[in-house]
Amino acid sequence: MARSFQPDLPAAASEGPHRLNLLLSYGGWREEPAVSQLPRLLEPMGIRSVEARTGEQAASIIRELPVHIAVVDLALPLGGTRTTSAGGVRTLQLLRRLECPPPVIVIRPVEPSPRAHARGLSDALREGAFSVLDYPMRLETMLEVFRRILKRHYADLWPAS
């Protein structure tokens, strides 16, 4: 059963400036991904969504802003071309090396075999993933993972400025 994403927050948290930065990486796995709907849904709650289309963009965002939650698409290209999808793995590694690594939601393509599926899951968890979602990703599932992150990592409160 899907629940709507309605954290119990003080009124000031939802009315004030952005209190939580969300890194959204997108590797182009669908024309109209559910991830593209997140900024509109989360903005009224004070969540700033910062989008990255390449691993290089994600690295730049990680250097410039505190990242409180990250959505990392493993199909993310490293640079401007789609020749390699190493940008997602590189982004995971950069986030893991931060002084205070944020909770990370990994989105990954369907694996060709059960063995590859298990290995990919193990690799993502070893890189520090809080949750691993497979394509096609449902918006309700993503919102439920956000709710769990706020509860476990931030005690249902926004991170301090």
Task: Say how many C-beta atoms besides its own lie within 10 A of residue 88's C-beta.
Answer: 25
Q: Is the pLDDT of residue 158 over 50?
A: yes
Looking at residue 70, what is its pLDDT? Answer: 95
- Judge whether 149 lies within some domain: yes
Q: What is the mean pLDDT of residues 155-160?
A: 67
Six-digit token string for 68: 């409180």
- 19 or 100: which carries more pLDDT confidence? 100
**What is the tens place of the pLDDT at every residue in 26-84?**
876 555 566 678 888 888 888 899 999 899 999 999 999 999 999 998 888 887 665 55
Q: Is the pLDDT of residue 15 over 50?
A: no
CATH of the domain at 38: 3.40.50.2300
First to last CA, the chain: 33
Q: How far apart are CA 22 and CA 61, in angstroms?
A: 10
Number of domains in the chain: 1
For residue 39, the one-letter residue type is: P
Task: Say how many C-beta atoms besides its own lie within 10 A of residue 68's C-beta.
Answer: 22
- Judge whether 6 lies within some domain: no
Domain membership of residue 40 as a residue range: 21-154
Q: Can you name the residues that pair with 106 across neighbouring β-strands?
A: 72, 132
**Predicted confidence band of residue 16 (pLDDT cuts 50, 70, 90):** very low
**What is the tens place of the pLDDT at every residue in 100-121?**
999 999 998 777 888 988 888 8
- Judge whether 118 lies within some domain: yes
Q: How far apart are CA 93 and CA 88, in angstroms?
A: 9
- Judge whether 12 lies within some domain: no
Q: Is the pLDDT of residue 139 over 90?
A: no
- Judge whether 2 lies within some domain: no
